[in-house]
Amino acid sequence: MITVFFLISWTELGIKNVKDSPKRFEEAKALLESMGGRVKDLYLTSGDYDMVMIAELPGDAVAKYALTVAQKGAVRTKTIRAWTEDEYREIIGSL
């Protein structure tokens, strides 16, 4: 399992139907779980992105998940691979 930050922006369709966002999130969460992942946190944010989701999922599922969610047309995502503190210490220790 890897940790990924999903930087989420609503599309024109997504903001037009923003009241459906919680329902869409539940669907996206169920999709993630079906791929062997889990949502650690979701934040509504201000600034360049509308939401940030922190998730754990198998590495080979990241692209498939992001593309499947994007196909629905309500959001666009950018992803950031993240390492936990323990992983960080292991990486630095191996240098």
Q: What pLDDT score does 91 carry? A: 97
How confident is the model at residue 45, as a pLDDT?
98
Cβ proximity of 42 and 89 under 8 Å:
no
Whole-number Å distance between alpha carbons of 46 and 66 = 21
Task: Return d(Cα 62, Cα 32) in angstroms, integer.
Answer: 9
What is the domain partition of the chain in residue ranges?
2-93
Nearest-angstrom CA–CA distance, 81 and 66:
13
Give the separation between CA 42 and CA 52, rounded to whole angstroms. 6
Specify the fold of 2-93.
Answer: Alpha-Beta Plaits (3.30.70)
Q: In Å, what is the CA distance from 88 to each residue of 61, 82, 94?
A: 22, 9, 10
pLDDT tens digits, 1-25: 999 999 999 999 999 999 999 999 9
pTM: 0.90
- What confidence score (pLDDT) does residue 11 get? 96
